[in-house]
Amino acid sequence: MAVSETPPASEAQSIPKPPPAWLSILRMLYRDKFALCAAIFLIVVVFCAVFGPMLLGEAATDQNLRGRNTPPFDFSQHWTMWLGGDALGRPLLARIIVAAQNTMMIAAGAVLASLIIGTTLGLVAGYTGKAASQVIMRLADVIMSFPSLLLAVIVLYMLEPAVGNLIIVLAITRIPIYLRTSRAEVLEVRERMFVQAAQVMGASTFRIVFRHILPVVAPTLITIATLDFAFVMLAESSLSFLGIGIQPPEITWGLMVSQGRSYLTSAWWLSFWPGLAIILTTLSLNLLSNWMRTALDPVQRWRLEISRKKK
């Protein structure tokens, strides 16, 4: 074995020193034009949610019965009427902006709560012993087999139909999705060799689960969560439609869609604009989560770091 021990120079790949983290993230976002548009749109939505009710709260509830179902694109009117007026002559654009707050609060709250609870239970079920896993999984089966709308009706009938309760109900019904996914992934990842390597070093269970397993599982769960965002928005609207969700004069996009339903044949814009807001928000979240999955994975990141070449 007359071989020198140092590796040949060609073996090492030359990679320049990385720029600061925030700069490289922005640069990667700029590379993916779809994700960039999505991010801008979401910033606008968040801005509306935070400041909308403060700025346009009055205008959104201002009835004007002469302007019932005003058609959109009438630019001679005040700018809040450009998207038309609803059945009570209230400006649609202002209402959409104001409704963003409730909609976002319910959807984000329910998705985050179910994501965190579901993932935690899934990690426990996947990594610990059989007994805990059995209890958790059967619990998930119970929730899954129970019609979610029925559950919501029962709970909201007994409790006050407020934003907080709505979040709780929607979160509970979505927990099993994260739970089952994270458990299945954990069962696979825990057998990988780097987990064994951490065990040999004496790493605690907490460390193995949060440092080694969770980062591998997280991208899948985040993708599911963004898809779920739309589902929760629509579920909330169906509850509102049944009269056990958000109560007028409070508004959400989902409620606006269902309120406009009775005028669909005569005034399509009542349902269309809030529906479009729901679609665009979900689409943006999806595009952004797709970008994030690539950007967070060191193996895939180069796809965003190299400049696009023509094929």
Q: Is 129 in the site for another protein (CB under 8 A)?
A: no
| Nearest distance from C-beta of residue 7 to another protein, angstroms | 6
Q: Is 6 in the site for another protein (CB under 8 A)?
A: yes
Q: Is 15 in the site for another protein (CB under 8 A)?
A: yes
Q: Is 196 in the site for another protein (CB under 8 A)?
A: yes
| Nearest distance from C-beta of residue 10 to another protein, angstroms | 9
Of 13, 76, 145, 265, the residue at the interface with another protein (CB under 8 A) is 13
Binding window for another protein (CB under 8 A); candidates: 92-100, 109-117, 202-210, 227-235? 202-210
Considering only residues 243 through 302, tell me which ones interact with another protein, judged by CB under 8 A: 297-299, 302
Instruction: Specify the residue, 202 or 249, whose C-beta has the smaller distance to another protein.
Output: 202
Of 204, 210, 261, 262, the residue at the interface with another protein (CB under 8 A) is 204
| Other Cβ atoms closer than 10 A to 125 | 25
Of 111, 119, 212, 281, the residue at the interface with another protein (CB under 8 A) is 212
Single-letter code of the amino acid located at 133: S
Q: How far is CA 200 from CA 194, 216, 217, 265, 286, in A?
A: 10, 20, 22, 68, 39
Of 132, 192, 262, 264, the residue at the interface with another protein (CB under 8 A) is 192
Q: How far is CA 258 from CA 27, 109, 233, 250, in A?
A: 41, 22, 12, 14
Single-letter code of the amino acid located at 174: R
Instruction: Specify the residue, 12 or 158, whose C-beta has the smaller distance to another protein.
Output: 12
Binding window for another protein (CB under 8 A); candidates: 124-132, 208-216, 225-233, 246-254? 208-216
Of 142, 197, 264, 279, the residue at the interface with another protein (CB under 8 A) is 197
Q: Is 20 in the site for another protein (CB under 8 A)?
A: no
| Nearest distance from C-beta of residue 158 to another protein, angstroms | 45
Q: Is 23 in the site for another protein (CB under 8 A)?
A: no
Q: Is 12 in the site for another protein (CB under 8 A)?
A: yes
What are 238's two structure tokens?
């169906």
What are 116's two structure tokens?
């965190």
Q: Is 193 in the site for another protein (CB under 8 A)?
A: yes
Instruction: Specify the residue, 5 or 160, whose C-beta has the smaller distance to another protein.
Output: 5
Which residues of this chain interact with another protein, rule CB under 8 A?
A: 1-7, 11-13, 15, 17-18, 192-194, 196-204, 207, 211-212, 215-216, 297-299, 302-303, 306
